[in-house]
Amino acid sequence: MSRNILLLPGDGIGPEIVAEAEKVLHAINNKFDLNLGFESALVGGAALDAVDNPLPEDTLDKARKADAILLGAVGGPKWDGLPMEKRPEKGLLGLRSNLELFANLRPAILYPQLASASSLKPEVVSGLDIMIVRELTGGIYFGQPRGVRELENGEREGYNTYVYKESEIRRIGRVAFEAAQQRGKKLCSVDKANVLEVTVLWREIMNDLQSEYPDVELSHMYVDNAAMQLVRAPKQFDVIVTGNMFGDILSDEAAMLTGSIGMLPSASLNSEKQGMYEPCHGSAPDIAGKGMANPLATIISAAMMLRYSLGEEQAAAAIEAAVNKVLDQGLRTADIMSEEGTRVSTHEMGDAVLAAL
Ligand code: NAD
């Protein structure tokens, strides 16, 4: 039976970068006889424009049936003034919550060919390979009640609720411990247990889980310290596990240690290993349609998709090897361009990966 991949190009540079990844996926499908089937659908601003809904029923339906989803990015200035429920991001958040994609895996790897792109000293970042596991469907981004209310004196007050159930902490903890087992066997749990009760419970559950993974060394760090340590000595980390909001911020910080957001993939998984794969960057409206976008983060996300949702390790590794080869050849999109590199367009970068395959 064919495995069904749903392509959600989205907005801005999304369609350009997903087209390159699709090309690579078609080639790998033929090369390894993977029996992949492809469908596409609208999400975000593109869906708002077409049917006035950032997550149309048809898209959600296809997403539920898909084995894996490859998403470009959503959002852009065109839709910034819309009310919250009509924002493109609602499409993304809706997919994450409807499919229960609670585990967000974000590797931050410094490719040796791009070591000079980091703003940190090479000795601080060279060989960097961190995995941030962020809880994605709970915490303060989803907690109820939330809103803006008027107080008795007429002043307005904004409020959100930071909640985690024990079961939510346990399942993200398991994903992180398992990731650590497959890597350097070190897990750092990041919280704010000196101030927030919800993260006191978080820490307690992480400690509890440790007995199931005796080969993994568990440590804890407050989020403010973690933010400092990531720029001071990032190589001390192997796997970091944290809640939705802290993970949002720390994973972007870790991403920038590598120098280019155009190189960073991500995976969001549920307990059935169904996943949505997407680059870490946004829709980059400033360069959309100019052929300048780096498609590599999306192409590497497609490799993660083959590995984590489809169990096709060999095909995933072949894509990663092809990406390494084009970097060795000195091919660079504008965002990762250095003095020695040869500048290529989005399309040329996709073609080069294809040729390297
Ligand atoms: P962004 O990541 O889109 O862009 C930040 C900077 O990085 C820009 O200068 C952009 O040109 C550059 N950049 C990003 N991806 C690139 C690539 N592949 N190649 C080359 N350069 C790249 O972040 P932003 O500007 O804060 O947000 C723009 C829009 O994207 C907003 O509407 C935001 O809401 C949305 N957004 C969407 C997602 C998502 O879909 N997952 C994530 C973040 C932001």
User: Ligand 1 in contact with 261 (CB < 6 A)?
Assistant: yes
Q: State pLDDT tens for residues 216-259.
A: 999 999 999 999 999 999 999 999 999 999 999 999 899 888 87
User: Ligand 1 in contact with 293 (CB < 6 A)?
Assistant: yes
Q: State pLDDT tens for residues 169-193.
A: 999 999 999 989 988 999 999 999 9
Q: Report which DSSP code applies to 185.
A: S
User: Ligand 1 in contact with 285 (CB < 6 A)?
Assistant: yes
* Ligand 1 pocket: which of 104, 114, 261, 294 to mutate (most atoms within 8 A of CB): 261
Q: State pLDDT tens for residues 10-61.
A: 999 999 999 999 999 999 999 999 999 999 999 999 999 999 999 999 999 9
Distance 311 CA to ligand 1 centre (A): 29
Distance 284 CA to ligand 1 centre (A): 4
- Cis amide leading into 214 (omega within 30): no
User: Ligand 1 in contact with 303 (CB < 6 A)?
Assistant: no
Q: State pLDDT tens for residues 130-144.
A: 999 999 999 999 999
261 close to 270: Cβ distance less than 8 angstroms = no
* 3 state DSSP class of 222: strand
Tokens of 315: 């095909």
H runs (alpha helix) in the chain: 14-32, 45-51, 57-65, 89-98, 122-125, 166-182, 197-210, 223-232, 244-257, 296-308, 313-328, 346-356
Please state which CATH class domain 1-106+272-357 belongs to: alpha beta
Q: Report which DSSP code applies to 192.
A: -
pLDDT class of 2 with cuts at 50, 70, 90: confident
Distance 283 CA to ligand 1 centre (A): 4
Residue nearest to atom 23 of ligand 1 (CA): 282
| Helix or strand run (H / E) with residue 3 | strand 3-10
Q: How far apart are CA 185 and CA 339, in angstroms?
A: 38
Nearby residues of 279 by Cβ (< 8 Å), 6 or more positions away: 17, 72, 73, 261, 262, 264, 265, 266, 297, 298, 301
- Nearest CA to 341 out of 235, 265, 259 is that of 259
pLDDT at 41: 98
Residue nearest to atom 22 of ligand 1 (CA): 262
Tokens of 62: 């296809």
pLDDT at 127: 84
Handedness of CA 116, 117, 121, 123 (dihedral sign): negative
Nearby residues of 154 by Cβ (< 8 Å), 6 or more positions away: none
Residues with a catalytic annotation lie at 141, 192, 224, 248, 252
Angle, helix 244-257 to helix 223-232, in steps of 10 degrees: 10
Which numbered atom of ligand 1 lies nearest the CA of 75? 32
Angle, helix 296-308 to helix 313-328, in steps of 10 degrees: 160
Nearby residues of 151 by Cβ (< 8 Å), 6 or more positions away: 157
In the chain, where are the structural domains located?
Answer: 1-106+272-357, 129-257
Distance 324 CA to ligand 1 centre (A): 23
* pTM greater than 0.85: yes
Distance 13 CA to ligand 1 centre (A): 9
User: Ligand 1 in contact with 299 (CB < 6 A)?
Assistant: no
Same CATH fold, 129-257 and 1-106+272-357?
yes
Distance 182 CA to ligand 1 centre (A): 31
Query: Which CATH superfamily groups domain 129-257?
Result: Isopropylmalate Dehydrogenase (3.40.718.10)
307 close to 313: Cβ distance less than 8 angstroms = yes
User: Ligand 1 in contact with 262 (CB < 6 A)?
Assistant: yes
pLDDT at 286: 97
Q: How far apart are CA 282 and CA 284, in angstroms?
A: 6
User: Ligand 1 in contact with 349 (CB < 6 A)?
Assistant: no
- Mean pLDDT, residues 161-167: 98
pLDDT at 132: 96
